[in-house]
Amino acid sequence: MFTAAALDHRLPGTDLPDAYSRVVQAFEEVALLAANAAAPLDQVLQLVGKSMCDLIGVSRYSVYLRRKDGLFQGQAGHSTHSEIDARVKKLIAGGIGDKFTAEISQTAAPVMIRDASRDPRPLQATMLRWGVRDMLGVPMVIKGDVIGIIYLDNEELPHSYGDEEVALAQAFAGLSALVVHQAWTYRRLQQRTDLIESQRRLLDESAVVHQHVMQAMIDGAEIDEILGIITSLLGKPVVFYGPDLSILASVTPDELTLQSPPGLTRDLTMLPWVKEALGELTGDKPSVMLRATPATKCRRLFTAMVVDGHCAGYLELCELGSPFNPQDRKALEQASMVIALKLASTRRGEEVERQQRESFFADLIYRRRDLNLLLKRAERFQFDFDRPHVLVRLQYARNVGDDTSSSAGQHADSREFLSEALDAHGRCVASISVPGASLVLLELADPGTGTQPNLLDVLAADFDEMTERYGVRYLVVSETCRSIERIAAEAESVKQTSMVLLEAEAAGRCVQSRELDFVRLITRSGGYAGAVKQVSSWLAPLQSHDEATGGQLVETLRQFVLHDAQIRGTATALSVHENTVRYRLGKIKLLSMFQPESLDGVLRASMAFQILGFSHEQGS
């Protein structure tokens, strides 16, 4: 309670009743205004300053409040001669060289300046600019801390501040400090409450987008459908970019009737200021606003979608149709998180699928499972062995005997390149990294393709680039596999061909495995027994067919070789019509690697029967 005794203690030598009345009356006005929650703090400070001027009898005041950094920020000001409030709000007191403010802050007591132009404590330039003659600085103190300072002067006119005036100012400032602090605290709490309420409303509104998008993801919606939901809720175009800022998808409100997607062109994404802005996207800064320019046409809100620590793409909201509002940013950030979850889920699903497919492919190559079981699993992975397949081995540059497997990145990148090189000739259905190489299974586009010169030509056209980019030294293409049983044998064939090329230190090339059959037979470590095993594998599909159907494909091929590839002589030897021989030769071509119409095919068949015939003689 501000008592007469207290006032007497603070105002020695003054007329106590008159001083008490003046200070209390001024304080009551300030207290009543501060108690009004609707009154801004600036208005309260203006009344404090005006009351102080009236008590002291001067024409100008300025009120400053302490900031967190210890400096004092202008809050209110008034002069009977001019409007200075806006100017004062831009000022900061207590900086380097301002010994006047420092003394007030350190002593927590009023400090007086007589003839400011000669006093070294204030900033002379400021005193000159404001036309200050004599000045009184009065601190507002709470529990020993200076929370603010009131500067008083008579604006270019001298004023002698007597002890009674200084005491009145100090007493009123002390009382006002409590009211100002309470008003400031209350308004901070009110601002905080308003902010929390605003954020709550913002979260409620953005949560609608989040809930719809999340539910769509749970229901298995595709990216285009999710973008459509975002667009319908926010009423603005949405663009989905890949990590390289290529446009993958976009959805625009129907009422905008845009003739082209609203996303940034490739040239615009390469602008330095655009790249710099997008580079700021981090976990602490999940979204960034790109300014509108004649080139970009509108403001654009960007978020990055991060999956496993890497950027998986960007989501953009365009300010077209309606201006941005506060919930747009939060809604886009939440939608971006949901899409990132979907991308992560899809990526992990694809990774599991890839691993399972690789495992199945490895089982085919190494015959680690029963054939019937493999056939059932083939359906699970959508392998159609009614269509012809070819194995391609990408042998990487390495030293002979080096069994280091190709890197995961090298394998994935080269396989992707091979897929693009195939174009319409086929598709990659499985691949696996093996020591020093990648083995890829291709499904051919044309079921009627028997030989692969066209495919070899297609791959050969890109061989130099594969060598330069991925270190491919040899590309070996197998014979056509027309049944699941041939996969393992052809995998071994392309491997052996690669080993022959490596051991011979041959120049890099793109070859078909059959081109080196004779060399492989001569150089293989298995000797004669290995050669028998090799040619037996060549004839195995024909023998299996004959055993299953009672046919004579093996004998037909034998007689065809014995009769110098003459259909008439073969038909006579077999006592069948020439068309029957032609049909059987076509079947042989379809089921095995033998190509009866080519010299290479006849030579291969001749060698096979010679080796097997010699084996039978040795056995007898």
| 158, HSE (Cβ side, Cα atoms, 13 Å) | 5
Tokens of 274: 């655009």
**pLDDT for the residue numbered 11:** 46
Is the pLDDT confidence value at 254 over 60?
Answer: yes
Is the domain spanning 384-524 CATH 1.20.120? The answer is no
Residue 107: pLDDT band (50, 70, 90) is very high
- The H-or-E segment that residue 391 falls in is strand 389-396
> What is the three-state SS of 40-104?
CHHHHHHHHHHHHHHHHCCCEEEEEEECCCCCEEEEEEEECCCCCHHHHHCCEECCCCCHHHHHH
pTM: 0.46
In angstroms, the CA 505 to CA 440 distance is: 23
- Cβ-based neighbour number of residue 243 at 10 Å: 13
In angstroms, the CA 492 to CA 481 distance is: 13
Tokens of 19: 């001083």
Contacts of 361 (CB under 8 A, 6+ apart): 430, 431, 432, 439, 441
Bridge partners, 542 (sequence order): none
Q: What is the pLDDT of residues 195-253, one digit of tens each?
A: 555 555 554 555 677 677 778 777 788 888 888 888 888 888 999 999 999 999 999 88
Q: What is the pLDDT of residues 539-573, one digit of tens each?
A: 888 888 888 888 889 888 888 888 888 888 889 88
Is the domain spanning 4-189 CATH 3.30.450.40? The answer is yes
Question: What CA–CA distances, in Å, run from 203 to 211, 308, 335, 436, 523?
Answer: 11, 26, 13, 54, 74
**pLDDT for the residue numbered 9:** 42
Question: Alpha-carbon dihedral of residues 424, 358, 338, 227, nearest 10 degrees?
Answer: 10
Is the pLDDT confidence value at 112 over 90?
Answer: yes
CA 385 to chain CA mean position, Å: 39
Contacts of 480 (CB under 8 A, 6+ apart): 388, 389, 390, 444, 449, 450, 451, 452, 593
What is the domain class of 525-620 according to CATH? mainly alpha
In angstroms, the CA 55 to CA 33 distance is: 18
Closest among 23, 52, 50, 60 to 135, alpha carbons compared:
60
Is-contact 319 300, C-beta < 8 A? Answer: yes
DSSP code at position 435: B
Q: What number of residues does the chain have?
A: 620
- Cβ-based neighbour number of residue 423 at 10 Å: 10
Q: Where are the domains of the chain?
A: 4-189, 220-344, 384-524, 525-620
Q: What is the pLDDT of residues 165-203, one digit of tens each?
A: 898 888 888 888 887 887 777 767 766 766 555 555 554
Does the fold of domain 220-344 match that of domain 4-189?
A: yes
Q: What is the pLDDT of residues 5-41, one digit of tens each?
A: 444 444 444 444 566 677 878 788 877 887 776 678 8
Superfamily (CATH) of domain 220-344: GAF domain (3.30.450.40)
